[in-house]
Structure 1
């Protein structure tokens, strides 16, 4: 496997640059513009950007944030940060400015690259040196800009002081305390993931991977880095609006692999006839995860696109995207409601434990603990939260395990079945959402007295968020439109509740501790 044969952790970006910088093979296709970028060109652009970043203080142990649309330019940012020994931190450009500032404050970037369309998001934010991308017209003399088309000759990098424990990237997720978390992943963790995935699944240099996930979503690390390591091409799909974008791109570019959240797979099945039957015979593998996908949905997809291998991945962001995989090319042969989440990747150590963190007998339900080199370095600037998330169960010899909060059961064939969450989290379009964070945003609205966020089922979208709100403090009555506007200032779009219900005093059921009765409200939501 490229870069791992000697058992060492490679310098990821440098290793790819050294092997591919003279290649005219296509590395990136930007489907929003049609631009095709070769490995040679990407390497030369990366070197030019790395030189610019270094002049602004970027080096080992620093952070390069990016508030940009997905593009070949944003891929060059990731490469350049890693080449300098820095970590990259993608930030969703559609977020409200207050949340962008919060995330930047957590990761403390030395430099933030921002597309000129989103420059206003950084006003007053702790962004370090700001480099504007693609400004039109050019800024006044002395303005700090980056021309994504700039190139220079690729030069060797002195990486003698680098460590496998150096940070590779930061991904932000929803937090159970009402605040987001910045998950820090090291080079060792990322390379362990890539080695494991390629050993289990197997790739070749003809792979053409359709990247649907945003770059600020951890699924993108599998799409991009697995493909780059074998010299394949990554096809960047713009922000997903309709399922036909995927089928059209698969047909036009002869895509071999794509990774989708399960809700998108459901949409593809439900909308396939509307999009028209396309030639998807180039597809070899359909990757999916982020939430459970019913087997009948997969059977319907298999009937339309025969001959695929299905790769079901499971893993929290804190364990570098996928801790387990389940592969099958026989969906029709499965009669369960959901596929298992499979077996651990080669470097992953799993324990199924009771509430005391003691192993349960095989076949019994327990919480999943995940150990090994894929476990995160920690949360950005939050050692206390890191300490709570990483535990050393009895008999582990002090080894760190991530406490997933997921209940699982080991089947007789050795595959794990996912059974549910221990806490209040759920996956919405593949994004982990803690309902307490939705509640915290609602309670920050002046007139909200109390609220309760609950999971709900939608016939097409699958898991969505429902929000029950108690009264107005000023007594003027509920206003759903106003509440949605307020929430949009505080939360990303995927965390905005699909359904909001206002409770009158006579509708309120309280628990013994005086809180809104979640179980009762969940029953009301799903009626």
Structure 2
């Protein structure tokens, strides 16, 4: 992909809409039908306000006209500074109607990374919300269009907006940036046709009109596509939750009951954290869909045994293939076996190939290659990586398939099992992490002569640095903090190493590559004579997998995040009977403050009752 408006791969596949001779974008055709059929129904709920399909249609048309006017004859991608609000639906639909891709911006990214992405795509227009402040320097030299769902709902209807006939199935819909192995994040270009076929898949997502869907995922995470577009293209209602809701089972259960939710689409890491707190909280759902990484078998079994949703799915698929491409319904769990990724969607195909690209038979392990209508258009302005990853489909060379790098096997019944990678890409809390991106930055850090990064199941990300000059032990803490600040200025929180170790040299194997097995592990904290850690401090150390963590340390600065905090909430409740508010984990001297809160709280804080039937939840 060299330009967002030019698709270098012209797919011969045609959507059902185009097959009838209507032309244009199947996604926009579908939404137009939903907006007409469900005009007075809510498209989005947030707080005490609602946005109907008619209001969404009109607001997005007005905004599309403004985007088109500001974009000029050579439109560029639109930056989306919107997250988990009704404004997201307006912004995404407006960009689609204007025929330009939107680029979701995660405000948790460092400013340097945001600025780099904006420059890379050449964004000249930015969509913002009143309640999400964006630093002015990031918006310099850009036309800013504020999006306010409440104000838009109160405005009278304007002139009808007709999308350009040039907007087709192959028109890019969004560009989503993921971690890149060369140190540069990769921008995956996904088209109107990609999303239209995914969102309308019959079984999964399989959303039905009038149902209510969670809004849990950040817009820069591709699972949000299942929520937003899966909802808008099927006449559903998207229910936006307050921040932190889906990390605290009590808040989440209250929210699901209050909003009478039918469908929940959750990152697997979020599900794991919630299920560990309360395995019975999902029983009122009609459909629960997991995606992002391999589920925890024991937790899935506990949910099925306690209060299962009516339909429970595990899914699999990379960003490059539009959210997910395989589905496995979970009705029974064998805890001794890997949960399968499932069978492909009707519009997808799965191939297992060897190192030479030759197809392998059932029961043989090889690289997973994905074909079908969900395969993205490529990487933005990156022809080399596009050519390497997007290849002729092994079964239909005229079409395009995507090399995942995942190690997988197809069973005789067509079910896919995925286990491991053929490279050093890892998943952390559902987020794709390329170790090469972290290594590149570490080697560019001031004072670092050589650097290497590994991921360990117990210790997380570990950075090893060989400095330009020998470092006295007394100076290591200051140097370590300097490296943390440097990396934190360029990398999202999930990509920051939990441990930074200084070594005199990097051990090499006979092939001249770093021998990771010879790298030293992080040092363990040895308790001083008479020192006895409290159960709270021990819980923090176990959750962080860091025995050097002290009560006065900052949880976030030592590698903690919201998902680890969610798991800790459940652990501490089981140990003490007290539910600790999520907000406490963002404070310095975290364990000390949490221990004080627990000591001052009542001996037990009951969780919300889970005795809610499906009829009660839906009314």
Scaled to the shorter chain, the TM-score interval is 0.7 to 0.9
Q: Which moved more, 1:79-88 or 1:509-518?
A: 509-518
Higher strand fraction: Structure 1 or Structure 2? 1
TM-score, normalised relative to structure 2? 0.74
- Residue deviations 1:210-261, cap 9 Å, x none? 1211111111111111222221111123444733343332122121111112
Task: Return the offset for 1:293.
Answer: 1.0
Q: 3-state SS of the aligned residue for 1:177?
A: coil
1:409 aligns with 2:405: no
State the partner residue of 1:400.
400
State the partner residue of 1:20.
35
State the partner residue of 2:137.
123
Closer/same/farther in 2, CA of residues 156 and 18 from structure 1, 3 Å limit: farther
- Aligned counterpart for 1:102 among listed residues 77, 93, 116: 116
Distance, in Å, in 1 between the alignment partners of 2:438 and 2:26 is: 39
- Residue deviations 1:106-164, cap 9 Å, x none? 22223112346766645267864233567xxxxxxxxxxx9656734261515433321
Task: Return the offset for 1:303.
Answer: 2.8
- Residue deviations 1:176-227, cap 9 Å, x none? 11110110011111112123x3345533223211121111111111111122
- Aligned counterpart for 1:518 among listed residues 506, 509, 516: 516
Structure 2 unaligned spans of 5+: 1-14, 524-544, 547-619
- Residue deviations 1:4-29, cap 9 Å, x none? 57746744245424542562211112
Task: Return the offset for 1:262.
Answer: 1.6
Q: Report 1:318-397 matches (<5 A).
A: 318-328=320-330, 330-332=331-333, 334-392=334-392, 396-397=396-397
Task: Return the offset for 1:500.
Answer: 0.7
CA contact (8 A) 1:426 1:432 kept: yes
Distance, in Å, in 1 between the alignment partners of 2:132 and 2:161 is: 34
Task: Return the offset for 1:165.
Answer: 0.8
Structure 1 unaligned spans of 5+: 135-145
Closer/same/farther in 2, CA of residues 96 and 170 from structure 1, 3 Å limit: same
Distance, in Å, in 2 between the alignment partners of 1:49 and 1:150 is: 15
State the partner residue of 1:167.
172
Q: 3-state SS of the aligned residue for 2:453?
A: strand
State the partner residue of 1:466.
462
State the partner residue of 1:488.
488
State the partner residue of 1:205.
209
Task: Return the offset for 1:509.
Answer: 2.7
- Residue deviations 1:251-281, cap 9 Å, x none? 22121111112221221122228xxx76x54
State the partner residue of 1:446.
446
Closer/same/farther in 2, CA of residues 105 and 150 from structure 1, 3 Å limit: farther
Closer/same/farther in 2, CA of residues 6 and 382 from structure 1, 3 Å limit: closer
Distance, in Å, in 2 between the alignment partners of 1:151 and 1:58 is: 26
State the partner residue of 2:185.
180
Q: Report 1:60-139 matches (<5 A).
A: 62-115=76-129, 121=135, 123=137, 128-132=142-146
- Residue deviations 1:53-89, cap 9 Å, x none? 2331368954211123431112211111111112111
Q: Which moved more, 1:354-363 or 1:474-483?
A: 474-483
Q: 3-state SS of the aligned residue for 1:478?
A: helix
- How many residue pairs are counted as aligned between the two chains? 499
Closer/same/farther in 2, CA of residues 60 and 522 from structure 1, 3 Å limit: farther
Q: Which moved more, 1:106-115 or 1:388-397?
A: 388-397
Q: 3-state SS of the aligned residue for 2:50?
A: strand
Task: Return the offset for 1:357.
Answer: 0.2
Q: Which moved more, 1:227-236 or 1:16-25?
A: 16-25
Distance, in Å, in 2 between the alignment partners of 1:404 and 1:127 is: 38
CA contact (8 A) 2:77 2:124 kept: yes
CA contact (8 A) 2:212 2:262 kept: yes
Q: Report 1:257-296 matches (<5 A).
A: 257-272=263-278, 280-296=282-298
CA contact (8 A) 2:351 2:394 kept: no
Closer/same/farther in 2, CA of residues 215 and 408 from structure 1, 3 Å limit: same
CA contact (8 A) 2:223 2:267 kept: no
Distance, in Å, in 2 between the alignment partners of 1:37 and 1:132 is: 17
State the partner residue of 1:140.
none
Q: Which moved more, 1:477-486 or 1:164-173?
A: 477-486
CA contact (8 A) 1:48 1:152 kept: no
Distance, in Å, in 2 between the alignment partners of 1:522 and 1:220 is: 39
Q: Which moved more, 1:110-119 or 1:250-259?
A: 110-119
Q: 3-state SS of the aligned residue for 1:374?
A: coil
CA contact (8 A) 1:469 1:500 kept: no
- Name the larger-Rg structure: 2
